[in-house]
Chain A
Amino acid sequence: MSRFIFLTFNGLSFGAVYAALALALVLIWRTTRVLNFAQGAMAVATAYVALSVSDWTGSYWIGFGAALAAGFVLGAVVERVAFRGADRMPPLNTIVIGVGLLILIEAVMGMLYGSANRGFPAAYSTRAYSVGSTALFSKQDVFTVGSVLVLMLVIAVLLTRTPQGLRMRAAAFAPEVARLLGVRVGRLLTLGWALSGLVGALAAMLVIPTGLGLFPQAMDGVFILGFTGAVVGGLESPVGAVVGGVLTGLALSYASGYIGSDITPLAALVLLVVVLLLRPTGLFSGSQVRRV
């Protein structure tokens, strides 16, 4: 039982990261139909920004804030420069742009910082609290889950309780109608990408210190798991992204703990296949109708 509890907490902590990355992907997918393959690389770039700023200022938290700000700006710039008009492009074009951007960002990070794995400090201790002989969770786990929860709450409030959120939803569901109502759809797409970049940056800042380390390809594997979470949740739904991400984290944690860490990637695949067999559009996708 103690092992189960530990694995559950561990799964929730990593699941929160996958949920954040899944949310970043969904925020873009539902507005532009782009699956941003460069999301992980963009997140790594923001972690490098954090490293540089922390080294320069001597403050971890200024670096942390700089990473989030860099994610916000990078998301907006990527939309403006690389993906403007993506909703009118053939899907293959957006995939090529995304993969090209992934290679470009990782190459630039390699040139600037080298390809060696750098240690990256966690915000809080990663030593797990124990009750008796049962290890439960660390301060870093609490920070991970808490910060992702807070960010998701902020995004949920933004989307559902503010005029800007209403405009964003209208632009996502019916861009032409939104324009006819005076909504500047282009600006909101940029804002969506910026938010996505910020959420991705948070995911990187939370997962890189947990043994992953910082190197240009650090988030490639995490991106796959975030993508798994997004697909499991249904790609259309921010709530689905969160649930899908957490489910992915839990599935991987249990598989790793009870079967073996070698089996972990397979667990993600099994989860994906099972969910898609039972519900081909994902757990929270309301409809198979595609916006055209």
Chain B
Amino acid sequence: MTELLEVEGLCAGYGAAPVLHDVDLRLAPGTITAVLGANGAGKTTLLRTLSGLLRPSAGRIDLTGRDLIGLPVERRVMLGVAHVPEGRGVIGELTVQENLRLGGLWRKGAGARRETDAAIAEVYDLFEPLARRRGYHGHQLSGGERQMLALGRALVARPKFLLLDEPSLGLAPVVAASIMALLRTLRDASGMAVLLVEQNVHSALAIADEGVVVSLGRVVARGKAADLQADEGLRHAYLGF
């Protein structure tokens, strides 16, 4: 299958402190890849580097054949990269509707408004609680609703490549499960590739097609999600169960 995203030899860090070392990654369209590892392994740094928030010191990032290195975050958004950061990034001072509209403001030209309106309508269909609270401010929403909003806002951009950082963090198990189930539905419906960072290894591997295990900034294992889950040695060494 033609890869949507190809990452080779990616190195990145904060100032003089390197975090990622020589990371390789390949994502096919319509797949979910779970990034697993302990706290401080470099999972969030990987996502920040892929979305452009962090400049890599070495390596290559290709999205559908286009080199992303050197492109600012804003340009990557236009190429189809969407990043839902840890903590969700819902802007509490803006309403639900404004948060969603923001997700489509990168579009330019005739028809941009219409396309964004259509995408917002789809998000409201997908997340009914948001439709009932479109005039509420972000800070008035529950944790689950905020996650829906963060995810919905990313979907308004109709991304090719979605980066999700800890989507279940702080959510009730039943809400987290519904968000995870929804990711599969979205993957099937949209064909986008999802890179999912998740502390809950079980639920991440349950919905993912592939998995990569990161330790101390290096990819130490990769494979089919089911195979990773079945690998007892790997589970004990890196995944803590």
- In the assembled complex, which residues on chain B have CB atoms less than 8 Å from the CB atom of A167? 102, 105
- In the assembled complex, which residues on chain A have CB atoms less than 8 Å from the CB atom of B93? 169, 173
Is B83 an interface residue, CB under 8 A from the partner? Answer: yes
Q: Name the one of B53, B72, B103 contacting A181, with C-beta atoms under 8 angstroms.
A: B103
Is B68 an interface residue, CB under 8 A from the partner? Answer: no
Contact B53 A176 (CB under 8 A): yes
Is B96 an interface residue, CB under 8 A from the partner? Answer: no
* Interface core residue of B51, B83, B91, B101 (most chain A CB under 10 Å): B91
Minimum CB–CB distance for A157 against chain B, Å: 15
Is A279 an interface residue, CB under 8 A from the partner? Answer: no
- In the assembled complex, which residues on chain A have CB atoms less than 8 Å from the CB atom of B157? 181-182
- In the assembled complex, which residues on chain A have CB atoms less than 8 Å from the CB atom of B85? 176-177, 180
Count, A-B residue pairs, CB within 8 A: 60
Is B35 an interface residue, CB under 8 A from the partner? Answer: no
Contact B94 A170 (CB under 8 A): yes
Is B220 an interface residue, CB under 8 A from the partner? Answer: no
Is B164 an interface residue, CB under 8 A from the partner? Answer: no
- In the assembled complex, which residues on chain A have CB atoms less than 8 Å from the CB atom of B101? 163, 166
> What's the Cα separation between A3 and B110 when bound, in Å?
58
- In the assembled complex, which residues on chain A have CB atoms less than 8 Å from the CB atom of B83? 180
Residue of A nearest to B150 (CB): A177
A156-188 residues with Cβ-Cβ distance < 8 A to B are: 163, 166-167, 169-170, 173-174, 176-184
12 interchain pairs, CB-CB under 8 A: A163-B101, A166-B105, A169-B93, A169-B94, A170-B91, A173-B91, A174-B89, A178-B102, A179-B53, A180-B51, A182-B73, A182-B157
**Chain A interface residues (CB < 8 Å from chain B):** 163, 166-167, 169-170, 173-174, 176-184
